[in-house]
């Protein structure tokens, strides 16, 4: 078993990593907000607003799944430079 030595990150490196994480979270937050606004503009949402609550449930669930898929794709498409190149 090989002994690995850990190198401590410099303060500037830590700040850069923190800033990158913050920017990624803000981008995901904005994407979620945009997806929600886009979903509200769709005909499906407009129809769902006019239908009774019981009939509305499958439509709302479908829209929620669609938004979740979009957000997941947006999050996973961002290049994560901290991930190891080859395992």
Is 40 part of a structural domain of the chain? Answer: yes
Rg of the chain over all Cα atoms, to the nearest angstrom: 21
pLDDT score at 21: 92
Residue 51 contacts by C-beta under 8 Å, 6 or more apart in sequence? 59
Is 42 part of a structural domain of the chain? Answer: yes
pTM of the predicted model, to two decimals?
Answer: 0.39
Is 7 part of a structural domain of the chain? Answer: no
For 64-85, the pLDDT digits (tens) are 777 777 777 777 765 554 444 4
**Ranges in the chain, pLDDT < 70:** 1-4, 45, 48-59, 77-87
Is 12 part of a structural domain of the chain? Answer: no
Go through the chain and tell me how many residues it has. Answer: 87
How many domains would you assign to the chain?
1
| Residue with the two structure tokens 């019981």 | 54
């Amino acid at each position: 078993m090989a002994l690995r030595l850990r190198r401590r990150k410099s303060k500037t490196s830590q700040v850069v990593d923190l800033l990158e994480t913050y920017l990624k979270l803000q981008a995901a937050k904005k994407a979620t907000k945009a997806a929600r606004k886009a979903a509200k503009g769709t005909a499906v949402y407009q129809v769902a607003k006019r239908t009774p609550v019981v009939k509305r449930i499958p439509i709302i669930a479908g829209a929620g799944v669609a938004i979740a898929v979009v957000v997941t794709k947006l999050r996973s498409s961002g290049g994560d430079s901290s991930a190891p190149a080859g395992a």
